[in-house]
Chains A and B, each alone.
Chain A
């Protein structure tokens, strides 16, 4: 069924693709309080601690924070609009963030965790119109937008939903329909006492089907990060003190003998992003400013950006020059290791003409204390061990769930949202059967699970259920 409501919604309002900055819009009365969970106000025109406290038409500088992990996602500017003085006429928030797709996706994901769902095509405009914020003439245009949007979405959905992924989701749906039909049969046609054996058999069949499909669904959801990387590239940040060999390394990695896909402008003023392919894995290499404590204001901004790049990356290569002291090596990365976790950081000892770093052993030990366990020694000039860097990228990619070679990756965040909810419902349904809460409870949850999957496959549940029952079972009394 089509959901028409006034729930808080969010969407990115600037065009897709990488840009300098992007604007994410949130609308719906009460959205401020919901968004407080993922918004940290750093500086504002008054003594405001919460985003929802900001008066209408005022801004604050702050951060979007993942409410589950507490990690900072991006530094942003929040603008608050009070009902009815906004584009839609509802309470609204605009988040001006950095323009990379990874950042945008992450912010939308965080808002989702706070209970703000993704908007349907044209939904902001429709609300604006309903709330009297748009003229009759524009209403005509709104309808065109709704239509063209839905056509485009349909096409996009079509292309996303072909091939093996579509088939897999369809199979999950079919299998769960089968389980559902069996449950409904048990509910609809009461077995006699002498039939309890076959009833038990049916129930265990249902439980097994649900468990099997749960695994498939789980793997699909797990593969979303991989899918996102496929559609938006893996972000690998090169971080280190100045002259630690970052640029040389970057040049080597993007050398002419390697496939340079495109060169894109840096998303922030002080980082340079370069797109490369590593064994078919699309990677964006981010070269950052050197991390050095500095009195220079301009340079300190650059370092802030570098830290951000590190935080938002999938992987970080921390470059350690041969002449660096143990102390500097530790301070250069400690904050980042704490923020994103050492397992995403690889220590890279660069080698120059002077030879290896004499303190390598010591530095290794110190960094290991921070959770950094992977170390490589490279020499860009001699292309020595460069492939080891590529190995790190490849290993990380392969460690992610999902089976790319079979075309089984979810790349669309709406699909991911739906399937993730479906997975949650399916878990509840399995639990309901396990603690014998009742098959009617299991059925109710399974129904909403199928509703969620139906939003991906474009099918509604109740209409086809009766048909499934009729076609599969011989019905008794």
Chain B
């Protein structure tokens, strides 16, 4: 549907967002916009070293500094638990991962640049900062462990004493013997070494947290920049500070983007909550951007060797992979599941490869912890599959699109059991391929290539497919794989006496437009105008429970929880209507907001039923309770499997190595779509994060563990001028196991774009004999690849 079609507010309409008015007029309320009466300000002193022992901390001068209320160090947190990890991975031989304590403030040792050492609380932020500079910390520096391969050799002081060779776990998935057998009979084997570059998520709103403690009620309140306030309440309350849920309220107000980085429970949240009680006043902390670079969880950072076995006809026989995954200095909340259950399980991609084996070694290093970032494991899997297939196509001198088509899982093969644990419910990969070839004008490519050549530019065209697994589930299964949480979602639908509706959802919205999309679902199902529907999220005192927003799960899981509650509302309303209309319940039909006795013109509107539920006169009180308020917890039966195919064309200036993305076409299958305008916006955003990874972004540490990309002066964020406008299209195979038939769209672009761009660049450089280039493909790297290839030929 064209974005301008706003004729209706139901499912499928491109309804303009209800949240926009407040954001466009500066009336959003982000955490840093909140100020509590009598509030103090916290500033953290962070380690300048990657690895060092703390010999002594002298905070006397800081405590005496003007405006200082308190100074706390690791000593004050010794008796307090560390930050918990939410996933226990077992490696080979059922060996559990090494799980060292992640202290709130460094406990005798710092393990990455930015590791918090002390906190100063003062009347103003400037006073806190002035005082933090006066804390004298004596460090004894230790050699930094930065490179993963070197780290695994051991030697020196490991990051954690419990892991002598810095190995967190050594995990495998798939049938190794069957895979090796496939390679033994292969007609052709393609091999590739690649790096999935470390990224910094960089939501535009820096993290912030305000802790508040009410001595009268004993209740704590934490305002925080979170994608999942209930998860923070559980992790911080139960595992760190020992505050029971009924005495802890967590509020995540408007949140300025997350991309995964605001899922996790961070030290600063615990610090402000704990300190609020200590100092008897609210404590506010707001991250600076430079602080964010060294304290927000990073993403990706894999080093991989991967091989593909093909028969003489180009059919895939097997794939095997060896990956080193960087965990950083501590285990962030969901870190261990990213390179394992969100990565290894996706290695079949869109293909009917019969045998797959992967081995992942997770490594501790003296760097910022690594966790999920938009895509989380799936971009890494997709990058290695799609780069490998492209290399195979080039080696076999075959069309990369047709090699993919030949090996796709075909529509009649669903449900499809992959050799790496997942069962795909539905898809049509040929359809997205056909759609993207048309969208990207495959037929006109030769002409465009010639035109580029005439300008002295190298043109390349790249294609990549992707599949992702969204709405991680069911809880029983993930529990058996090590998850320490359930992965359901909760929703309450509250119908008020005059027929308006408030939905309380655990799916937090921080850019995704839930306040609009969810309201469309309600409007559609209840047949009432959207204006009568309010979506409430982000406050544990209002929403019954919630697991939050990540992994493109909101509509498939959170939306389904709403649908389940709406179904209960409708079912109860039918009972009430039957009584009021003096008909059998089975004869009541509900359509367009009206309950009608089948075959008659006797009906009651939704509003009349709502009023009756709250003013229960002439009401079936013996069988039906008054009120109209229903809660559901929905635990999905399976993941959903969005998939798609992307094409990118680039032009390279061979003299400078500068790449210009000339066009980018995306054909996605997200199942049914509720708001196409919002879905396309999600695709655009994901694509630019993916193009950013491919061309611009990388987090660099030097050999001493110093962060070289600690601000926007060095970490290249994509800007408007770096990317083109996009061509986006959808096809639909409806998800088979949720009532809306939806799959999720948030991460697709970030998953599919990197291999598409790199495949296009390698295509452009193929005339020099270049077969691979690592991300980000910066001008310097491309220029060097051309020089090296030229030199190799002479």
| B and A form one assembly | no
Interface of B toward A, CB cutoff 8 Å: none
